[in-house]
Structure 1
């Protein structure tokens, strides 16, 4: 496997990759909030439950990513040559 391909595979576990993953997760909040407002306006309980479960998933995902960042066991694959 080429060196560049190996770097690309390790990107998600790098510090930069973790920040990108956190940003992507937080970007999902926008859609979840919109769905929540719409569900509340319509009085749709089932959709509100779905939004709550989605929000819990986002919070859990971000918490896991932050924990990995705090552990500091990440490699900066972009800086390695």
Structure 2
């Protein structure tokens, strides 16, 4: 197996998915900062942008959690 194939497989492995969820959690700090700044400046456009970013972050995290659960369900050694 080549290094490229190994790297592609990591994305769909349990450690890869956990790393993705961790990255999403870390990204939440930036979203919160943007929301606070938009509120303090009373900038509606920035507030909408931060809200859409938060929604995208939640959606991507939920997709990663679903894939992690699916991986656990298909794991033969887990039973």
**Structure 2 length normalisation: TM-score?**
0.84
Point out the structure with the larger helix share. 2
1:13 aligns with 2:2: no
Structure 1 residue 30 and structure 2 residue 26: aligned?
A: no
Q: Shift of the alpha carbon at 1:12? A: 0.4
Give 5+ residue unaligned stretches, structure 2. none
CA distance in 2, matches of 1:44, 1:57: 20
Aligned alpha-carbon RMSD (Å): 1.5
In structure 1, the gaps of 5 or more residues are 75-81
The secondary structure found in structure 2 opposite 1:13 is: coil
State the number of aligned residues.
Answer: 73
Q: Which runs of 4+ in 1 moved over 4 A?
A: none
